[in-house]
Structure 1
């Protein structure tokens, strides 16, 4: 594990404090130039980022599965940069982020929704039929929407130094948090790498060398000791972290349960600075019943298996709980096909500390079933089907597995419409977390349910809701805000406070709703069964770094051969 000496931590913070006001005053054209320079450097170092992550996770960098590391690493970072450049260019032209005509509409409950995807030819070619709407918090109207966008560019304010406590599981999380703090919130940043993936630190430093070279970013290393030192450093103005609620509470309320209880009772947090966070979630997948063909059953089984298998299931948006209707005639067939799809995938190395122990805990559940065997250093896939929904305290409802396990619970309802009405309250009230949720529903089912389906989508209290796609797609696409559903507090932090990405710079988003076709064609590059996912993802990285219509044909051809 790498460590940065305290004297160097102090120097890093000191440099940032001398540069924070300069960054706050920096012109938009100069910001655009720095962002473009970072895109060029990021593309250059991308193969090394992917190779390093694959080595750490036991993946072959030349195999299709390496596409995961391309998509969740360089592609996401480069797209984030490109979209920030687009927004900054709009601010330079007209003073605010750009929204195309007709993108704003009123929802039946009065909230405002803004369509933000697709935003160009690339989006339409690669994600046909896919849309993303951002639903605003109450009080945002057509007349004041522009006043709730790009707040850091509308208000004159002094600079600040933000500490970003990086995540250990995904290569893009730390860099994208840095981009959000710098370009959306107007803060300079010290990024402390997580010990699990601190091997990425030098590569991130090279990718963001234009920012670091001008004193707007510092990358440092260490464990709990260095993190605590920076959290309480007088030169740090605010903190953003990605991790678990348990780690958040140790930072904010104290190391022991007794100290946390005492401080909570008197509302005496150890940290008086602003703390934002993106934390865990037991991600539900609501399966809306319908009459599915054999091909549709197979496609959705692969879809769910991908949500479980990706990154050894060490994702805060990994599918953890299938929510089905007990009366659905195809329920058993679908669950069997999910199990078969998982059994057909290679088991992954349990690279993340603690994941093997969590796997042992979850597979000791009385309804657990371990699937195909695995290599000695890999964790076999496991299912925990038919968990009683009345068992409110069951581990599958209350704890994020962080290992390749997926559970299922079946709700009793008189018909599919009653199931749709019951699904949102069940997920909101019984399942831990509010980060993201997935809904699988065929077009005929959506049409048949009509308003009942839309009420379910409206009722789900999650920061991101993905219909027929994995919610991680919204993360990688980077245009929508990514974070927990608003309303959490330091005392009850849930899935976190605040949001990142958000390249259109909405100040008051409530949630994002991504919708896609029931069967996407071509098959999405992130599917674990895609045989050329790594080829598609690498070409996507090149496109995002330097968009050109001339790159689209080759990219589309690669995507069309799954």
Structure 2
């Protein structure tokens, strides 16, 4: 185990499975490690008092200092991520690390400062926001674009948050701010069990603990991300210096000790439902009986973001050859971004059996899977999970130099159950078909993914603008019936992850004994209460084809596409922009993006 002192040696770190047996966890830990952990929690308890006394203007200043430290550490941050993921430093894939690392954290820090600024002036964070409406009497809150910079940088993209049905406009405005509205009412020390795949997730979770819930944070890194200890320590030094954050590393025994520590008031985990259940219910024969009886081992509240099997619903229409190729790259991006190790990775393409272009689209999918640059598997257990998919579906097609990418095309006589209920967390892409066209197909798709797919984190819909226009209110009502935390229309749900104002998490209503994609949300820089889902929308075609077909969108191929050749430079430029926004930086970003 190490604390925020990088000179302390890191313990050996096997798989990060967290035991919930308190006695076993204590007995398996070295006395010195337990003492270090106890000291870290004690220092955070003192920091909680400091946080309670800190005014909102002082918190804004502190977040500004963190923003500056993250900007100064960005190169070190990305270098560590590249090493952790065994990436070629010259690869275009490095752009993923810039965008899903420093860029999104810097953007979120700016957004949180803006929200706290409104609260400091005695206003709601939504005081100057025009709210809208969504099906079912829902109130909608626009979150993208949030400022003129975003309106140009992400031209053609938008996002809005749909509040839970029955929530009124006045309630939405009055409740925005969460814990920041009562800064002296702190809530102890929160344990954040960090994700092992995307480097912005642990810091964003920590920031949400601090600002939204008034909890100081102990961040335990996933062993896969131990290389991030040094850059995180430098980037978040302003929080560490005030005793508001401690960072530790270690294996499952450290996690087990911490989740059961009396000094921890709350647990937040990003990971799998399996690990969540081990924490909550324990292991072995006793776990099932405790779950059945509703008597969890964990006696403190827990929130979670746990992934799932994300659908990509493709609306049938008359697509051009260029449309088929571009959207095939879009689908492959949703599966292969970060090597396939994303909780929001698109896993199953849902096609109409009556779509005349079904085979043409599948041909383009195969081509995109074949030509996307190879990268070595880096997340533990990836080869085994791909092997399990091959065993379940022997007819799966192999792509890539090592055959590590799979395409599983499910036909009418095949059993799709395993594909629909297993989050492979690896480069496995499935295809299923459903009957119908138009509204009938969309309604069947919504019913199917709600009922049969595991998880509710995100769903994607791709379709011609003319098709969506023709569906009209039927399309919007279908969005309302989709039980997912983020729904992306002609973009990827990852856009919701990158949007600071968008809440990120599962569809609300899950419970400890049926956790699905988790409980609660993070990010949410407007600090909205009672959110239901985020709807993100993008252009069906990149510029200039978008303009030629009547879409008002000036955005080229997105830099997060796995086929974007200039992604490394564009990602760095975006992070530099978020470090110090300026109109003068825009031309370089667009020039690089258009070279994708």
Alpha-carbon distance in structure 2 between the residues aligned to 1:71 and 1:321: 25
Once the two structures are TM-superposed, the CA of residue 387 in structure 1 deviates from its matched residue by 4.3
Q: CA RMSD in A?
A: 1.6
Q: Structure 2 vs 1, CA of residues 29 and 122 (structure 1 numbering), >3 Å: closer, same or farther?
A: same
State the alpha-carbon separation in 1 of the partners of residues 293 and 256 from structure 2.
Answer: 22
Residue 515 (structure 2) aligned to one of 493, 498, 516: 493
- Contact preservation (8 Å) 1:480, 1:502: yes
**Aligned partner of 1:227 among 242, 255, 279:** 255
The aligned residue for residue 503 of structure 1 is: 525
Contact in 2 for aligned 1:367/1:386 (Cα 8 Å): no
Query: What is residue 444 of structure 1 aligned with on the other side?
Result: 466
In 2, are the aligned partners of 1:367 and 1:385 still within 8 Å (CA)?
A: no
Pairing of 1:41-52 with structure 2 (within 5 A): 41-52=69-80
Which of 457, 470, 483 is the aligned partner of 1:461? 483
Which residue of 455, 471, 481 maps to 2:493?
Answer: 471
The one of 400, 407, 426 equivalent to 2:430 is 407
Please, which of 366, 373, 377 is the counterpart of residue 339 of structure 1? 366
Classify 1:389/1:280 alpha carbon distance in 2 versus 1 (closer, same or farther; 3 Å): farther
User: Does structure 2 conserve the Cα–Cα contact (< 8 Å) formed by 1:290 and 1:442?
Assistant: yes
> Secondary structure of the equivalent of 1:191?
strand
Matched, 1:123 2:171: no
Q: Hey, what does 1:268 align to over in structure 2?
A: 295
Distance 2:504 2:276 in 1: 18
Tell me if the contact between 1:420 and 1:452 (Cα under 8 Å) persists in the aligned partners.
no
Instruction: Evaluate the alpha carbon distance shift between residue 98 and residue 108 of structure 1 in structure 2; reply closer, same or farther with a 3 A threshold.
Output: closer
- 3-state SS, counterpart of residue 140 of structure 1: coil
Question: Are the equivalent residues in 2 in contact too, given 1:437–1:465 (CA < 8 A)?
Answer: yes
2:113 aligned to which of 85, 91, 108: 85
Q: Does 1:149 align with 2:176?
A: yes
* Bigger mean CA offset, 357-366 vs 285-294: 357-366
Shift of 1:145: 1.3
In 1, Cα distance between equivalents of 2:62 and 2:392: 52
Query: Residues of 2 paired with 1:549 and 1:122: CA distance?
Result: 8
Alignment CA distance shift 1:92-1:524 (3 Å): same
Which contiguous aligned blocks of 4+ residues in structure 1 show a shift greater than 6 angstroms?
none
- Pick closer, same or farther for the CA change 1:99–1:427 going to 2, 3 Å: farther
Give secondary structure in 2 for the equivalent of 1:358: helix
Per-residue CA distance 1:197-247 (angstroms, 9 max, x = gap): 111012101100000001000001111100010000000000000100010
- 3-state SS of 1:168 partner: coil
Match of 2:562 among 528, 534, 537: 528
For residues 580 and 524 of structure 2, the distance between their equivalents in structure 1, rounded to whole angstroms, comes to 21
How big is the shift at 1:171? Answer: 0.7
Taking structure 2 as the reference length, the TM-score comes to 0.90
Q: 1:418 aligns with which of 433, 437, 440?
A: 440
Structure 2, unpaired ranges of 5+: 2-9, 12-31, 544-555
Take 1:191 and 1:520, find their aligned partners in 2: how far apart are those partners? 39
Task: Out of 240-249 and 532-541, give the one that drifted further.
Answer: 532-541
The correspondence of residues 94-113 of structure 1 with structure 2, limited to 5 A, is 94-102=122-130, 104-113=131-140
Q: Does the aligned pair in 2 maintain the 1:348–1:380 contact within 8 Å? A: no
Pairwise CA distance, 1:110: 0.9
C-alpha separation in 2, matches of 1:514 and 1:99: 22
* Alpha-carbon distance in 2 for matches of 1:254, 1:389: 39
Cα shift at 1:556 = 2.2
CA distance in 1, matches of 2:228, 2:338: 16
The counterpart of 2:540, out of the listed 512, 515, 518, is: 518
Does structure 2 retain, via aligned residues, the 8 Å contact 1:423–1:456?
no
Paired residue secondary structure (2:267): strand
Q: Which runs of 5+ in 1 are unaligned?
A: none
Contact 1:288 1:416 (C-alpha < 8 Å) held by counterparts: yes
Q: Distance in 1 between matches of 2:107 and 2:135?
A: 33
Q: SS where residue 392 of structure 2 aligns?
A: coil
Any residues of structure 2 matched to 1:334-413 within 5 Å, and which? 334-366=361-393, 368-375=395-402, 380-388=404-412, 391=415, 394-413=417-436
- In the alignment, does 2:38 pair up with 1:10? yes
Q: Deviations over 1:123-180 (max 9, x none)?
A: 1222112111100012310121122211213335234110000011111110110111
Q: Aligned to 2:457, which of 419, 435, 446?
A: 435
Contact preservation (8 Å) 2:185, 2:214: no
**What CA deviation, in whole Å up to 9, does each residue of 1:407-432 have, x standing for no partner?**
0100012x322101111111100000
2: CA distance, partners of 1:120 / 1:137: 25
SS of residue matched to 1:371: strand
* 3-state SS of paired residue (1:349): coil
249, 259, 268: which is aligned to 1:240?
Answer: 268
Offset at residue 554 of structure 1 (A): 1.9
CA drift at 1:389: 9.1
Q: Does 1:547 align with 2:581?
A: yes
Q: Is the 8 A contact 1:105 1:113 kept in 2?
A: yes
Matched with 1:218 is 246
Counterpart in 2 of 1:57? 85
Q: Offset at 1:98?
A: 3.3
Distance 1:91 1:520, change over 3 A: farther
Q: Aligned equivalents of 2:129 and 2:484: distance in 1?
A: 27
TM superposition shift of 1:550:
1.8
Moved more, 120-129 or 441-450: 120-129
Distance 1:162 1:387 in 2: 47
Matched pairs, number:
555
CA contact (8 A) 1:339 1:371 kept: no
CA distance in 1 between partners of 2:335 and 2:186 (Å): 44
The equivalent of 2:590 in structure 1 is 556
Q: CA deviation at 1:334?
A: 0.6
Change in 2 beyond 3 A, CA 1:400/1:387: farther
SS at match of 1:348: coil
How far has the Cα of 1:373 moved from its partner? 4.2
Instruction: Deviation per CA, 1:389-410: give whole Å up to 9, x if none.
Output: 9846x21100001110100100
